[in-house]
């Protein structure tokens, strides 16, 4: 027998799930063509207003057979964590408690690259600290990204060309 409390909790959870996904198409390529063109025109106008120059927004999809990758020159990292806080601001991540998707590891030059001795919680008075080097670790753009499976709103997905995307305005402007 289901208790009244369990039923109420389940009903509330189901209602929250329906509300979170009620904004309609989440990706531009899922929108009807007329809405897509209107949304693109709206974005171009908004970006021109913000940046003071003409901006062209395209709805072209991924190029077949093309996969993207990125590289990071870790020799330039000084351990300042500015990349971490820029990512927090850009991706509208939690600030209290703080959630960071980029971590910077401090390692001893003497030990080399050894994650078993790496310190993600270093806090020297000044960086770079003598005798140490730093390795930032961010989104790996996984081939089968687990983050897309657990996103409760569908605002994170992998495109056909492998790029993991987060749509911050996923329900703005949709009926």
Distance CA 79, CA 104 (A): 7
pLDDT at residue 129 tops 90: yes
Residue 103 shares a structural domain with residue 79: yes
Residue 128 shares a structural domain with residue 108: yes
Residue 33 shares a structural domain with residue 88: no
Distance CA 104, CA 136 (A): 4
* Beta carbons of 152 and 175 less than 8 angstroms apart: no
- Say how many domains are in the chain: 2
Alpha helices of the chain — where are they, by DSSP H? 4-20, 33-51, 82-90, 146-150
**Considering the domain boundaries, does residue 69 fall inside one?**
no
Higher pLDDT, 32 or 130: 130
Higher pLDDT, 80 or 30: 80
pTM, two decimals, is 0.55
* Beta carbons of 115 and 133 less than 8 angstroms apart: no
pLDDT at residue 15 tops 50: no
Q: Tens digits of per-residue pLDDT, 87-123?
A: 888 777 777 777 787 899 999 999 999 999 999 999 9
Q: Tens digits of per-residue pLDDT, 29-72?
A: 567 888 888 888 998 999 899 889 998 888 887 788 887 777 77
pLDDT of residue 22: 40
**Considering the domain boundaries, does residue 173 fall inside one?**
no
pLDDT of residue 5: 59
φ, ψ of residue 28 in degrees (nearest 5): -55, -40
H or E element that contains 132: strand 132-137
pLDDT of residue 13: 47
pLDDT of residue 17: 42
Higher pLDDT, 172 or 162: 162
**Considering the domain boundaries, does residue 171 fall inside one?**
no
Question: Mean pLDDT over all residues of the chain?
Answer: 78
Of 70, 141, 81, 138, the C-alpha closest to 106 is: 81
Residue 55 shares a structural domain with residue 24: yes
**Considering the domain boundaries, does residue 22 fall inside one?**
yes
Domain of residue 85, residue span = 74-137
Distance CA 21, CA 24 (A): 7
């Amino acid at each position: 027998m289901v208790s009244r409390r369990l039923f109420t909790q389940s009903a509330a959870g189901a209602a929250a799930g329906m509300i979170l996904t009620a904004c309609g198409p989440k990706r531009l390529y899922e929108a009807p063509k007329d809405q897509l063109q209107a949304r693109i025109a709206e974005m171009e106008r908004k970006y021109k207003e913000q940046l003071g120059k003409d901006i062209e927004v395209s709805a072209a999809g991924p190029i077949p057979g093309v996969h993207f990758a990125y590289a990071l020159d870790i020799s330039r990292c000084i351990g300042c964590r500015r990349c971490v806080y820029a990512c927090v601001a850009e991706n509208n991540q939690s600030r209290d408690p703080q959630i960071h998707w980029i971590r910077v590891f401090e390692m001893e030059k003497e030990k080399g690259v050894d994650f078993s001795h790496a310190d993600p919680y270093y806090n020297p008075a000044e960086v770079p600290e003598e005798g140490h080097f730093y390795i930032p670790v961010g989104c790996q753009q996984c081939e089968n990204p687990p983050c897309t499976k657990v996103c409760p709103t569908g605002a994170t997905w992998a495109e056909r060309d492998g790029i993991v995307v987060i749509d911050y305005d996923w329900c703005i402007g949709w009926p």
